[in-house]
């Protein structure tokens, strides 16, 4: 290891017992500034919808959030190069799985930002991918689905409730 790396490592401390601050020092600055901040995985509206769906699902199903398309797909050796790159960073908001973790239903939760052109293009791309996978897609709007009976009715079109 080079001397500058050794010196840099000496100035980093990571101690994580209960309630102990983690402090990282950098030789170039007084204090290290992390390039990222921690944030919740889901927004408040997504958490609310997740909980509403989970509360009405029969026990034979599970709901999961933020499903990466790369986890439910594999590269087709006959497809043109580059197509697999398009789905590497795409996610489904929620997935309804059976107890064997087969994806039964993809759910997209939209808000007003989905009326923007780039989001509409992304939604069309996602919809086409799911058609290719033979996975149904239910699109919900975050401000419309507060009524549990309406939500149950919409889910009933795709899974046994």
**Is the Cβ–Cβ distance between 109 and 142 less than 8 Å?**
yes
Q: What is the pLDDT of residue 54?
A: 95
**Residue 58 near residue 161, CB atoms below 8 Å:** yes
Answer whether 25's CB lies under 8 Å from 31's CB: yes
Please report, in tens digits, the pLDDT of each residue of the chain (161 residues total). Answer: 555 555 554 554 444 455 555 555 555 555 556 677 777 888 888 999 999 999 999 999 999 999 998 888 777 766 665 555 666 678 899 999 999 999 999 999 987 665 666 778 888 888 888 998 899 999 998 776 678 888 999 999 999 88
d(CA 68, CA 138): 17
Instruction: Give the per-residue pLDDT at 141.
Output: 86
Element counts in the chain: helices (H) and strands (E): 5, 4
Output the CA–CA distances (angstroms, integers) from residue 146 to 32, 42, 140, in the order listed: 44, 18, 11
Domain borders along the chain are: 1-37, 44-156
pLDDT at 103: 94
Q: Is 71 left (phi over 0), alpha (psi -120 to 50) or beta?
A: alpha
| Residue (of 76, 47, 78) closest to 63 by Cα position | 47
Geometric angle at alpha carbon 69, from 65 and 70, rounded to 5°: 120
pLDDT of res. 13: 47
pLDDT of residue 146: 73
Per-residue model confidence (pLDDT) at position 15:
43
Alpha carbons 34 and 36: distance in angstroms, whole number:
5
Q: For the chain, report the end-to-end CA distance as a whole number of angstroms.
A: 60
Find all residues with CB under 8 Å of 125, minimum gap 6, and list them.
Answer: 86, 90
Q: What is the pLDDT of residue 122?
A: 81
Contacts with 58 (C-beta within 8 Å, 6 or more apart), sequence order: 160, 161
- Residue 136: what pLDDT? 95
């Amino acid at each position: 290891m080079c001397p500058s790396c050794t010196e840099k490592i000496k100035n980093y401390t990571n101690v994580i017992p209960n309630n102990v601050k983690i402090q990282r020092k950098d030789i170039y600055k007084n204090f290290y500034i992390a390039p990222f901040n921690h944030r919740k995985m889901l927004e408040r509206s997504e958490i609310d919808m997740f909980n509403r769906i989970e509360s009405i699902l029969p026990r034979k199903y599970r709901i999961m959030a933020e499903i990466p398309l790369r986890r439910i797909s594999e590269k087709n050796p006959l497809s043109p190069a580059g197509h697999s790159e398009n789905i590497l960073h795409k996610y489904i908001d929620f997935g309804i799985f059976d107890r064997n973790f087969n994806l039964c239903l993809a759910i997209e939760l939209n808000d007003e930002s989905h009326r923007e052109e780039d989001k509409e293009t992304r939604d069309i791309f996602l919809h086409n991918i799911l058609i290719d996978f033979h996975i149904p897609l239910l699109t919900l709007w975050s401000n419309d689905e507060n009524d549990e009976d309406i939500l149950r009715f919409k889910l009933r079109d795709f899974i046994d409730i």
